[in-house]
A and B are shown apart, each in its own frame.
Chain A
Amino acid sequence: MNIIVCIKQVPDSTRVKVDPKTSTLVRAGVPSILNPYDHFALSQALKLKAKTGATVTVLSMGPNQAQSVIRLALGLGADKGILLSDRAFAGSDTWATSYALATAIKKIGSHDLIMCGQMAIDGDTAQTGPGIAFHLGIPQITFCDGVDISAGKVIARKIIDGGHQVMEADLPALITMTMPFDYVAVYPSFMGSFNAQKKPTETWTAAQIGADPKKLGLEGSPTRVDRIFPPPARPKGDIFSGSPAELADKLIEILKKESIIK
């Protein structure tokens, strides 16, 4: 059993702020992290590894500094890491990214289950996972909060509006994960991090995976960023302070004024 987890290093967008004077992003001190949804996918892959003895390979695409998320994943228990790093990949949108990752997965060879985070927090598109599934010609189950393997099939608990659906797919298949319903945060142990140093990692270029250069980077990406601008400013509201009793009265007055209550 071979499980491949696609991971991405992202800026911690919850800590990015906008300078109110210049309307530009303030990124000083914003750390790069493993995309949280990819962390969820990895946690489930490691759970399946414990159950089935599967080999877990983590695959990422990015600049050389993305090695750090691969090391983190190895420290958590993944067996092998591969980084796609090449100028040819720069400017890739979700189409070109999913093509590159799928091409690398084909080079890795045998794969039973591909796991991705449902989306990356720096783009929020949720498009790369389904794109990879298409390029590999395999079925996808997206937005899952639980996954298991049984009798050569993957069973996934998929979120739908107002509830869940339990789905089954033939292997190989691709699953995208949100936070697992039974998620417990895990951190690399000292020994885990120590052992990670000895685990194999490789860096592959576009030529090494045999990717068509026309399908990579800006050229392979149908979308173009035309303009970036700050969100429109909002009018300032009325702010009230006082004792709890006064504020409760104020709130009731507001609810009446807005015709929420009589």
Chain B
Amino acid sequence: MIKILPNCIGCGKCVPVCPFGALSLENRKAVVNSACTLCGACVSVCPVKALQMPQTAAASADISSYKGVWVFVEVIEEKGALKNRPVSLELLTKGRELATELKEELCAVIIGGNNSALYAELSAYGADKIYSVEGPAYTDYNTAAYANAMIALINKYKPSIVLYPSTYTGRDLAPRIAAQIHVGLTADCTGLSIKGQNLVQTRPAFGGNIMADILCPGHRPQMATVRPNVMGRKVVSAGKMAQVIMEVVPVTAEAGKVRIISKEMEATAEVEKLDEAQIIISGGRGLKTAENFNLLNAIATELGGAVGASRAAIDAGWKPKNHQVGQSGVTVKPKLYMACGISGAVQHIVGMENSEVIIAINKDGSAPIFNVCKYGIVGDLHQILPKVLEAIKDSKK
């Protein structure tokens, strides 16, 4: 349990902050009960520093020998060609910033069937070195094979920081690696910065209601995942080529325990992938039926955008799961995000708040979505949007 020091003044500020209801005031002093999970939420609100996390033994690992910022590059296939998934370039851009501040190298790690066409872009986004593991056994992502290759490289070169995309692949791979090499892993960071020797990993907590800074002071490498569209991306060294280091890591028998039987892709009639779309028209509970999504589909098609949905609409079965925007879906950062009939639960907002322009349409003027939008339309979408669709069609004539 959290330690409460005698200098507690009984101000009570810690009591409502505790997400687990573990703190209360008795005889004008804070007391803690067994519901305490040592989450640390109370420590920073205490004005007299009377709340303390229990001390633990200092880690024995020699952390000073770990140097360099690494980015795990996710490779995807698009229209038959291999490409660096854009989030990898976002991570390199952030990684460049961190590496420069630390005066250390930025290295991209790329694992795949055939990587050679992908190096130039990684270099342009600031990689000093590229560690490349390639071969037919690495064509398809495989947890054991990829984790084994990453761990082999981490043990050999000892990086200080390793960043992964928070994608289906990154979220499968990174925790397996973290478990094996006993290091910390912070999921879905929205901010990364350096404080002294440590990487400050900022992430939303408790459903996005509050933010937390996480450190891994005693373990290296420090590992974090970042969702697509959270960080910006910038070419910093166009034309420069990073040093490419080919690494050979044999695939272990463990990799054969999981096999891909088949793949089925959703028909791509819905224009663009959600996380890369520049225009997203999203629907929520206010849509009322699956059929009403046709209106949003039509507007999205006219504008060359994609259709998103809130969790309420997904749970109602109006859209497949991969259209979900929000904390348990995808994070998006389009030029335009139009939220139709979405009330704006915080779990939805954390997935779209970085959009450049947010337009909200909702009948309920007190809906929280109106607190984050640039433009709010208080009215019935079923009456408004058909007219808007016609106007969009007219504008193209």
Produce 1/0 per residue, B262-291, CB < 8 A to A: 111110100001000001000000000000
Chain B interface (Cβ < 8 Å from any Cβ of A): 1, 16-21, 34-41, 43-45, 53-54, 56-57, 76, 143-144, 167-168, 171-172, 174-176, 178-180, 182-188, 200, 204-219, 254, 257-266, 268, 273, 279, 303, 314-315, 321-322, 327-328, 335-336, 345-347, 353, 357-359, 361, 365, 370-380, 383-385, 387-388, 391-392, 395-396
Q: List 5 A-B contacts (CB under 8 A).
A: A11-B206, A17-B209, A165-B262, A165-B264, A224-B216
12 extra interchain contacts, Cβ-Cβ under 8 A, other than A25-B16, A241-B377?
A: A26-B16, A91-B54, A124-B328, A143-B168, A145-B321, A169-B257, A222-B182, A222-B219, A228-B43, A247-B379, A258-B357, A260-B336
Residues on B with C-beta less than 8 A from A159 are: 168, 321-322
Question: At the interface, yes or no: A127 with Cβ under 8 Å from chain B?
Answer: yes
Contact in complex: B211, A229 (CB < 8 Å) = yes
B172 nearest CB neighbor, chain A only: A142
Chain A interface bracket (under 10, 10 to 19, 20 to 34, 35 or more): 35 or more
Contact in complex: B376, A239 (CB < 8 Å) = yes
Question: At the interface, yes or no: A225 with Cβ under 8 Å from chain B?
Answer: yes
Chain A interface (Cβ < 8 Å from any Cβ of B): 11, 13-14, 16-19, 22, 24-27, 63-65, 87, 90-91, 93-95, 98, 119, 121-131, 133-135, 138-143, 145, 155, 158-170, 173, 178-179, 217-219, 221-231, 234, 236-242, 244-245, 247-248, 250-252, 254-256, 258, 260-262
Q: Are A98 and B1 CB-contacts (below 8 A) given A139-B257, A162-B266, A218-B56?
A: no
Contact of A218 among B38, B315, B357 (CB under 8 A): B38
Contact in complex: A160, B168 (CB < 8 Å) = yes
> B220 CB to closest chain A CB, in angstroms?
9
- Bound Cα distance A50, B253 (Å): 33
Report whether over half of chain B's contact residues are helix, strand or loop; otherwise say mixed. mixed
Contact in complex: B378, A241 (CB < 8 Å) = yes
Q: Are A240 and B375 CB-contacts (below 8 A) given A140-B143, A218-B54, A222-B219?
A: yes
Contact in complex: B327, A228 (CB < 8 Å) = no
Contact in complex: B213, A18 (CB < 8 Å) = no
